[in-house]
Structures are given as structure tokens and as C-alpha cells.
């Protein structure tokens, strides 16, 4: 299991797995903010799914707990399940990155994400999955097989949405994207590449989705006012970065 280490600079605390590579970050004076751009984009399921009581969202990979803390604060009706293999990451998230302890709205499971989504007890259980699985080497997602993404598909309800953090400038990108597209019947949108070479994919399950981008923009504006996420910029990026989606959203 990778060692968990930390660094701080300019009011930002960083998580590392025994190297200089950044595994997550938190602004110390605002621990519930999602600091990294690609982490913010992992919340894009909010553009397409309205939160409701007993809604189930799972984070595969805890990191600094950025997604968990944000959902816990801004989506109080949502039940969060966190899946993390490394027990030291769980301890670090709670002691160094202000992630709340488990309660009726938050459950943390120490296990391999591949095992978790393969378990039939977890199929058709979640409205949204957020997948951010990297190890100390950071040469691509730690889970990337077609079987893994098919199990992610099975873990989702219909409608359901998965967001995945990918590395754009690595051979793993095409492998993961092809497997996601096959598992999700090519119903996949990509964000434009962020400054740190991350690309977030959004994969859809359930009935076909068709909407005017102007309507999506209205939803984005409301979310931005409620959460301070830069969601209006997301709409422009998604409409321009995906082929045949420029005029209106159809997926």
C-alpha cells in the first residue's frame, strides 16, 4: 500500500502517495471548496440529475475527500458511499482534509473499487458514480478494463450518470475512453482538457437525453448560484468539445 504524505504551499494542502505527484488538494481556509478544476467537473452529474431524498451517490477513490465534502454540504438529501482501498487515505481525509466521519448520510467502505462494482449487491443501487482511481505512479486510472466499466454501468440506476477522471496525454486515455464508450453504448461526453492534462468523461445510462443547451445553461446558472461551481463555463465547453452536440444536446 502506498505511503500517504502531505505538503503545503500558499494556503493549499496537498495529498501525495510518497512522491511529488499530487493526488488531491484543499484550500485550508475553505476545506469544503473543490479546489482542483477536474475535481469540480466530477460534479457534472448535477447538470442532468436533480437531487432528491435518498438519492445514492458513490465516490470510487476518496483522495482528499473533496467530492465527498462538497456533496455532503451542498446536497443534504443525498446518501454518500465512499469506496477506498487504502486505510491511510481514509484516516488522512478525516484528520488532514476535514472529511466528516460516517453517519446516516455518509458510509465509507474500505475495499477495492473493482470488487465493489462487481458485487451484484451493488448493482442498480446508485444514481451517480464518481470514479477517480489513481495510484502512486499516476500513469493512468488504476481500474480501466472493459469489465470494470461494465460493472460500473450495472451499479447505476436508470437514469444514472458516471463521471471519470482520465489522463489526456497518456496511452491509457484511449484505452479507458474506448472501454467506457463500449460499456455505456457510446453515450459519453468529454470536458475539454484542463490545465493539468486531466479530462473528465461523463457517461449516461437510461432513457435518451435530449435538451437545448440554453435549458442546460439555465440549470447551470442555478447550480452556480447555489454552489459556486463554475457550471456555466461547463456548458460552453461541453457543447463545443463534443462532435454533433454543438446545436443541442442529444445523447
Q: In degrees to the nearest 10, what's the CA dihedral of 3, 25, 79, 94? A: 50
**Nearest partner of 80 among 141, 149, 24, 128, judged by Cα:** 128
Residue-range definition of the domain harbouring residue 221: 33-242
Residue 185 CB partners (closer than 8 Å, separation 6+): none
Q: Is residue 8 part of a domain?
A: no
Which of 20 and 233 is assigned the larger pLDDT?
233
The answer to the question of residue 19 being in a domain is no
> What does the radius of gyration of the chain's CA atoms come to, in whole angstroms?
17
Predicted local confidence at residue 131, as pLDDT: 98
Q: How many CB atoms lie within 10 A of CB 96?
A: 16
Residue 251 falls inside a structural domain: no
CB burial of residue 148 (10 Å; 0-12, 13-18, 19+): buried
Mean pLDDT over each residue of the chain, to the nearest integer = 94
User: From CA 29, how far away is CA 52, in angstroms rounded?
Assistant: 30
Lowest mean pLDDT among 97-101, 170-174, 176-180: 170-174
The answer, yes or no, to whether residue 136 has pLDDT greater than 70, is no
In a domain, 228, yes or no: yes
Is 73 within a domain? yes
Give me the percent of the chain exceeding a pLDDT of 70. Answer: 98
Is 140 contained in some domain?
yes
According to the model, what pLDDT value does residue 14 have?
Answer: 97
Residue 96 domain-assigned (yes or no): yes
Confidence of residue 15 (pLDDT cuts 50, 70, 90): very high
Indicate the pTM of the whole model.
0.96
Alpha carbon distance 100, 68 (integer Å): 9
Question: What CATH number did the domain enclosing 214 receive?
Answer: 3.40.50.150
pLDDT of 164 reads: 97
SS (H, E, C) the chain: CCCCEEEEECCEEEEECCCCCCCEEEECCCCCCCCCHHHHHCCHHHHCCCCCCCEEEEEECCCCCHHHHHHHHHCCCEEEEEEECCHHHHHHHHHCCCCCCCECCEEEEECCHHHHHHCHHHCCCEEEEEECCCCCCCCCCCCCCHHHHHHHHHHEEEEEEEEEEEECCCCHHHHHHHHHHHHCCCCEEECCCCCCCEEEEEEEECCCCEECHHHHHHHHHHHHHHHCCCHHHHHHHHHHHCCCCCCCEEC
Residue 138 has a pLDDT of: 66
Please write the tens of the pLDDT for every residue from 109-130.
Answer: 999 999 999 999 999 999 999 9
Instruction: Identify whether 59 is part of a domain.
Output: yes
Strand bridging mode 12-16 / 210-211: unpaired
Number of domains in the chain: 1
Amino acid at each position: 500500500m502506498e505511503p500517504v504524505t502531505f505538503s503545503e504551499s500558499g494556503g493549499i494542502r496537498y495529498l501525495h502517495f510518497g512522491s511529488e505527484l499530487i493526488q488531491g488538494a484543499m484550500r485550508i481556509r475553505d476545506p469544503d471548496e473543490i479546489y482542483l478544476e477536474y475535481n469540480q467537473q466530477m460534479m457534472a452529474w448535477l447538470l442532468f440529475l436533480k437531487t432528491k431524498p435518498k438519492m445514492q451517490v458513490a465516490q470510487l477513490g476518496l483522495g482528499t475527500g473533496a467530492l465527498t465534502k462538497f456533496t455532503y454540504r451542498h446536497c443534504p438529501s443525498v446518501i454518500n458511499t465512499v469506496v477506498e482501498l487504502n486505510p491511510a487515505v481514509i484516516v488522512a481525509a478525516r484528520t488532514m482534509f476535514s472529511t466528516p466521519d460516517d453517519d446516516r448520510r455518509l458510509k465509507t467502505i474500505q475495499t477495492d473499487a473493482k470488487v465493489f462494482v462487481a458485487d451484484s449487491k451493488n448493482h442498480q443501487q446508485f444514481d451517480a458514480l464518481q470514479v477517480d482511481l489513481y495510484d502512486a505512479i499516476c500513469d493512468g486510472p488504476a481500474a480501466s478494463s472493459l469489465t470494470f466499466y461494465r460493472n460500473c454501468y450495472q451499479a447505476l440506476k436508470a437514469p444514472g450518470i458516471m463521471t471519470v477522471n482520465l489522463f489526456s496525454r497518456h496511452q491509457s486515455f484511449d484505452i479507458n475512453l474506448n472501454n467506457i464508450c463500449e460499456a455505456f453504448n457510446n453515450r459519453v461526453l468529454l470536458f475539454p482538457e484542463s490545465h493539468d492534462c486531466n479530462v473528465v468523461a461523463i457517461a449516461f445510462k437510461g432513457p435518451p437525453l435530449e435538451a437545448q443547451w440554453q435549458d442546460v445553461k439555465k440549470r447551470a446558472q442555478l447550480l452556480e448560484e447555489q454552489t459556486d461551481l463554475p457550471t456555466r463555463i461547463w456548458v460552453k465547453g461541453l457543447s463545443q468539445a463534443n462532435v454533433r452536440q454543438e446545436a443541442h444536446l442529444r445523447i
